[in-house]
Structure formats: structure tokens, C-alpha cells
Structure 1
Amino acid sequence: MTPEKFTNKTNGITPRRWLKLCNPGLSDLISDKIGEDWVVHLDQLQKLKQFINDSNFIRDIQRVKQENKMRLAEILKKELNIEVNPASLFDIHVKRIHEYKRQLLNCLHIITLYNRIKTRPDLPIVPRTIMIGGKAAPGYHMAKQIIRLINKVAKVVNNDPIVGNKLKVIFLENYRVSFAEKIIPAADLSEQISTAGTEASGTGNMKFMVGNFPNLNGALTIGTLDGANVEMMEEMGEENIFIFGMNEQEVNDLHHRGYNAWDYYNSIIELKTAIDQINNGFFSPNNPDMFKDVINVLLNHDRF
């Protein structure tokens, strides 16, 4: 055996597409400050650290970000006939639809936010537009059910006058590279929330944060200690990424001890309320049993 012939390399992305091409306004700002060598030598972006307290540069970055958000808002209006507030926080979760990538967890969070607003309409809250996009494998029933659930939740949330513009939910249809090039530069928050130990690497997380200043290309990352999130955290510093949940060892230990979803269901009131709403047909009044299978998996067979 010759183990020295094998080396591990984390997946990567090209800054030529995911910064230079899809975010020209930001690319021009960077080149004005440090020249254009960064396009082929990404480590040159380290030079931007000297401008971290440059108020004019920071203001220019904010201007570019807002322009990108306005561009995406126009696209959503034109192609999907959906109006969004470009001044709201763009919370984006785009990737293949799969249980381990936990779009369902995001959906439960959306329902919880909705319930909080309904309970306390006067609650001061940053307006948030949550966008979830991705495709499911043709035969993957659970993934398709998650897409249906997101759309049903979006219909209720977006048409509730009490909620108004405080919370909007959009499922981005036909997610693809050309669409991603418009979405990613406009993101404020990047959702990278797969269960620790399930993601080999992932590249979407890198596309959102490429050109770290920190997080210069757009989004702060909220995520778990999974896949490339771990290396991103080491590179950018723990103070520049929002990490939550268990690490891989803790996940394995929990499975070995025995995971019982009912314990969490019975002890966390907001979670129980959200699950009951799905199970009782609150979001699917014409077919109350539509998501019974989703809740059955979540409470009795969930591995993620």
C-alpha cells in the first residue's frame, strides 16, 4: 500500500464566476482597492483587511449589496410575480432538497416566527424575506412533500394581514446556476444547516461567503459544524459565523443513546405548536391529512 499517493482536498468554487461574474459591482470595488490579481490569486483578498475601518469603503459595499437586492426583487416580480421588500433581510436557503439538508427545520422556524408575530403583532422585528429553493429527485417522496409544505406555509404567511411585510416566504422555482448568480449576491443570511456529519463538503456555503471581508460577497452564514462550514469557520473566525447545534460526535452519541423526537415535541411548546399546525391541516385546510406522513417521519423515523 502507498498511502502517500492519496491526499484529501475539500471541494472548491471558482471566484471568477461566483464573485467576478455574478457580482460585478463588488468586483469593481475590490479591484479599485487592491488591483485585479485577486481574480486568479484569491488570497490577495487578504489585502482588504487594511480597509476594515474605511467608512467610505464600507458604505460602498452596502450600496452594492442594496443594488443586488433590488435587482433580485425586480427579477422576482417579473418572473414569479412576487413582490418583496428589498429593505428586508434576505434569508436564503438554496440547495438540493433533502432531509439531511433540513429544509424542513427551516420550515418549522418559519412557522414559529409566524406564530410569534401573530401572538404579539407589536413585537419589534426586522422584516425578513425567507427564500428557499432547490429541486427534489423524481422519486424522493419526502423531499417533494417538503416542497409542498413550504409552498402551503408561504401561502398562509404571505396572505395574513397581521403579518404584513414583517415576514414573507418564497419558494424559488426552477433553481439553477443562472438563477443562483442573481440570488447569491443579494443574500444577507446564508442557511447552511445540514445535520453535523452528513455533508461531505458542500459548495453553496462558499459561494455565499467568497471574498470574505468577512463575508464580503453578501451573506453572513448561519450553520452547523458540518461539511466545509468547519473550515470556513477556521478561516474567517468564530466571531464571523453563526454556529448552532451539535457537532458530529455529539450527533453520533445521541443516536447511540437513543434519539426520541417525542421528548423534544413534548418539552418545547413552540415546536409542538408548529408540528400540530402542520398535522391538523392548518396550512392545508382543503386536505388536512396532506402532511401526516411528514409528521410521522419527523416524530417516529427521523434520522436528521
Structure 2
Amino acid sequence: MSPHSHRKPVAATAVALLMVAGSGLLAGCGTDTKDGAAGQGAQPVGAEAAMQGHAQPPVQTTEADWKPVADLLGRTGTLMNGAVYRVPLPRKDLTVTTQGVTIKPGLSLGGYAAFAKYRHQTMLMGDLVVTEDELPKVTDALQVAGIEQTALHKHLLQQSPAIWWTHIHAMGDPVALAKGLKSALAATAIPPASPPPATQPPIGLNTAGIDKAIGRKGTADGGIYKFSIARKNPVTDGMHVLPPAFGITTGINFQPLGDNRAAINGDFVMTAPEVQKAIRALRKGGIDIVELHNHSLNDQPRLFYMHFWATGDGVTLAKELRPALDATALVPAA
């Protein structure tokens, strides 16, 4: 990662700047939203993390700081909590089905790229949704650009066509990072950015009942009902505090299927001791496990992400998800 391996303790004034408060909607993997908010509740990414190896939080930035990145990519992102600039990369061009369900982009196909400035360099993290034919070309473009691939996996069972999700990471100058990312995007058919709809389509689900079962308030986004929940404790890479907006959240997505039924997909973010508890809780509720993997190479604590899938009554599914949520150290429910 960065060559600067010895950091001074973070000053209290800098710590005070970065209480990363989640406002709703960025899942750990493969989910994106209209406003880019990340992680319900607040994650203290200042003092506590600073004491864990003197990891530095991102510096505060403005929208204007990221204009060169937006101009180069031809896509406008959202600045979250003054720290992370997140650019959505949804696969609205694909028609993907799994177990007879046509997947809406907001359920599983929302890639993203997130940028944050630290004291010496900018960090890029993201998740690109690519077809199996695109994957080798994307891999080669990333490697030429010096952008690491830190994970490669699937989010869905029995999907057609074959889709892969690859996580990326790099440190450096923000414009140079954006150029490298653009070269990888050019190897895909990810469509140009499009403005969000003027109004949200209705959600054909009992959202009040789902909220009660989950213990949190979800958000409607493009016909999908979503929850994004940050970890309770800070996450670092040993040198940098990693805010939830980098994708370090548990994401729960509901796609309406009619008659208050839904397909659910997303992923749980867990430490090693939490993994088996979450698996048992999901399987007790009849929810399928899709993938278990890492997203990063050197996160601290070491985190695992587990994707899931089920269809059924929306409120019933929410009730079956709740024990698995309670088995992990997330920001507490309100």
C-alpha cells in the first residue's frame, strides 16, 4: 500500500472531523444507490482507530476537489461525509436472471468506485460488475494501470449470463487513478452515467413490517428496498482508517416480486468468529448461502463477506435475516 509505514498519532482536531455517520445506502458489495450514503448509524473512525496503529482518517474534501476525477471519468459521484467520493457504476445494460428471477440493477448489479484523500496519497477502492467475456480484458487493463484486484467472486446462484464481481484497490494521485480506472471501464459495456429518475417507483412490499423486523429504516431506491449497516468498530488497513463508504457495510436488498413477495440479496460483513453464527442463523431461516470471501488483502480486523439469496414473503424474510444481523457487531438498531 503506501510507502509511509510510520505514522504520527492523529491529532484530536482531525479526529473530531471524522465521525462517519451513515445516512443509508451503500452495501458492502455490488450494490449502489441514488445518493451514495453509506452505513446506517455512526462509525467512530477517529480516536479509537487512531489508537489502533495510529491509522490516519481521510482528510476532509469538497465536491470541487473531485471535479478532475468526475470530468475524466465522465461520471459524477457523491461526496459522503466530506471524506469519500463515490462514483456509481451500475450494469443497467445487462439482463441477468437467477432461479427464474430477472435481477434489477439495484438488487445486485451496482458496481462503484470510491476515492478518499489521505495525508500523502489518494485511495481508490471499488467493485466492478463484469461479464465473463469482459473479465480477462478488465484484469489486463487493471494490471497495466497498477490497480490491484483484491477479490473476485459471484453474488448470485445459477445466474445467466455469467457475471463476476471484482474488487479493486490502489494508492496514488487521484487523476492517475481515475485514468487507470477509465481504461478498465473501457474494456466493459458499462453504460454511460444517466440521471436518477425524478420520482421513485413504488415498492410493492410491506416496508413498515420489514423495517420493524430488521429494526432499522430502509430506503427505496430504483424499485429496490435497501438497508446498509456499518460495523460498530473502526476498520483500518494498518495505516489508514477505512470508512463504511468504501463498501464496508452489511447490505440487505429486497426486490419486489408481487403480492408482498421479494427476492433478497446482499452480503454480511463479519469477523472470523461471527461467520459460523451468521451461517447457522441464515440457514435456520431457509436462506441460501451464495459466497463467502474477503474483499481486501490487509483489512484490520480481518473481514469476511457472505452473500445470500432467498425468495418469499418480504416480512417473513426480514424476520429470518434479523438473527444473522444480531450475530454480527454492527451499529446497533435504533
Give 1 or 2 for the bigger CA radius of gyration: 1
- Higher RCO structure (Cα 8 Å, ≥6 apart): 2
- Higher-strand-fraction structure: 2
Give TM-score, length-normalised by structure 2: 0.26
Give TM-score, length-normalised by structure 1: 0.28
- Higher-helix-fraction structure: 1
